[in-house]
Amino acid sequence: MKKYGFGVDIGGTTCKIGLFEMNGTLLSDWEIKTNTENNGASILDDVATAIEGKMKEEGISKDEVQGIGVGVPGPVTADGTVLKCVNLGWGVFNVAEVLGKRTGFPVKAGNDANVAALGEMWQGGGKGYSDVVMVTLGTGVGGGIIVNGKIIAGSNGAGGEIGHIMVNEEETDVCGCGKKGCLEQYASATGIVRMAKKALATESRETTLKSLSELTAKDIFDAAKAGDAVAMELVEKLGEVLGSALAAVACVVNPEVFVIGGGVSKAGTILIDVTEKNFMDRTFHACRNAKFAMATLGNQAGMYGCVQMLLDM
Ligand SMILES: [Zn+2]
């Protein structure tokens, strides 16, 4: 094992880059702009230039670098082939191979949600476990499934797409993916607000939520914590939907721990409690000892996971 590794989390507007020691210590991190012009043709070259610049600045030689791990916002197969990244403009090509040729370093690539799961397993909320399901509740609902320390990427890189598990056959609104009734439509920040607005439209009881002009998921959790009964019912409903979806996931992969992250997870124990309760009520008896933990690495989880992928090279 060499001393250093680079983790690169490529997003639609910026690329987060971290210089790590291979023991998991983040030494420095910075961002560069993601240039999506010409179908993102210069993105990997920009990343390579940034890494070379950092090595020069820190006086790191090539033979001290274990490699580069890359997280990509789209499906990636186990060999590092990207199957279309709409918000980068990328089509189908092997990211690991292209960046490897450009830099001369070994490169591993993975889907951003999956590498975030690896990061949380390595140095975050899932530390000490090797069977981990990471659930990211943000604008959408992302997932990453790790079995025996390895990401389940699946045949089309779509393994762990927990957000698009169908949870309601009756739904008439359409999910971002084109289907109807996906978990994401109920458990993402936007989904929580969508459900709240629907409920409030016919709610006759007093609730502080009615006085808010722009309702957010945080408002709903805050009101529930303050004892607002209507808000608490909305949180309970969320716990039911999320807890039952995770109960089904547990029957497939039987994880040791569910790590909950993303903006919505800032709600804290109230979210964990309702989810865990509903999970316990619904899952198979032998899956009931699964733990629930908060993610701890925030938006750095992806960078950590990118470097974790380099450990077994
Ligand atoms: Zn969907």
Q: Kindly write down the DSSP assignment for every residue of the chain, as one continuous string.
A: --SEEEEEEE-SSEEEEEEEETTS-EEEEEEEE---HHHHTTHHHHHHHHHHHHHHHHT--GGGEEEEEEEESS-B-TTSEEEEETTTTEEEEEHHHHHHHHHSS-EEEEEHHHHHHHHHHHHSTTTT-SSEEEEEESSSEEEEEEETTEE---TTS-TT-GGGSB--TT--SBPTTS-BSBTHHHHSHHHHHHHHHHHHHT--S--GGGG-SS--HHHHHHHHHTT-HHHHHHHHHHHHHHHHHHHHHHHHH--SEEEEESGGGGGTHHHHHHHHHHHHHHS-GGGTT-EEEE--SGGGHHHHHHHHTTTT-
CA of 5 to the centre of ligand 1 (A): 35
Counting the structural domains of the chain, the total is 2
CA of 165 to the centre of ligand 1 (A): 7
Whether residues 193 and 230 share a domain: the answer is yes
CA of 141 to the centre of ligand 1 (A): 9
Token duo for residue 255? 């994880």
Cα 245 to Cα 125, 187, 232, 268: the distances in Å are 21, 10, 20, 19
At 139 the pLDDT is 87
CA of 155 to the centre of ligand 1 (A): 19
Token duo for residue 33? 């702009």
Whether the pTM exceeds 0.85: the reply is yes
CA of 166 to the centre of ligand 1 (A): 8
Whether residues 135 and 282 share a domain: the answer is yes
At 124 the pLDDT is 98
Whether residues 12 and 116 share a domain: the answer is yes
CA of 175 to the centre of ligand 1 (A): 5
CA of 68 to the centre of ligand 1 (A): 32
At 75 the pLDDT is 86
Whether residues 166 and 38 share a domain: the answer is no
Whether residues 46 and 155 share a domain: the answer is no
Whether residues 280 and 140 share a domain: the answer is yes
Cα 275 to Cα 47, 108, 127, 203, 272: the distances in Å are 39, 34, 21, 24, 5
Whether residues 155 and 250 share a domain: the answer is yes
**What is the spatial distance between Cα 5 and Cα 164, in angstroms, rounded to a whole number?**
33
CA of 227 to the centre of ligand 1 (A): 32
CA of 185 to the centre of ligand 1 (A): 7
Domain with residue 82: its CATH number is 3.30.420.40
CA of 186 to the centre of ligand 1 (A): 11
Whether residues 202 and 215 share a domain: the answer is yes
CA of 245 to the centre of ligand 1 (A): 14
CA of 45 to the centre of ligand 1 (A): 33
Cα 288 to Cα 24, 91, 271, 272: the distances in Å are 31, 41, 18, 15
Domain with 278 in it = 128-296
CA of 223 to the centre of ligand 1 (A): 28
10 Å CB burial of residue 226 (0-12, 13-18, 19+) is exposed
User: Within the chain, which residues score under 70 in pLDDT?
Assistant: none
At 83 the pLDDT is 87
CA of 240 to the centre of ligand 1 (A): 18
Would the CA dihedral through 28, 29, 30, 32 be positive or negative?
Answer: positive
Terminus-to-terminus CA distance in the chain, angstroms?
Answer: 9
CA of 170 to the centre of ligand 1 (A): 14
Whether residues 141 and 271 share a domain: the answer is yes
At 158 the pLDDT is 85
Whether residues 135 and 273 share a domain: the answer is yes
At 157 the pLDDT is 81
Instruction: Look at residues 207, 285, 194, 202 and name the one whose alpha carbon lies nearest to residue 241.
Output: 194
CA of 48 to the centre of ligand 1 (A): 34
CA of 60 to the centre of ligand 1 (A): 44
Whether residues 151 and 279 share a domain: the answer is yes
**What is the spatial distance between Cα 108 and Cα 100, in angstroms, rounded to a whole number?**
9
CA of 182 to the centre of ligand 1 (A): 5
Whether residues 279 and 304 share a domain: the answer is no
CA of 174 to the centre of ligand 1 (A): 8
CA of 178 to the centre of ligand 1 (A): 6
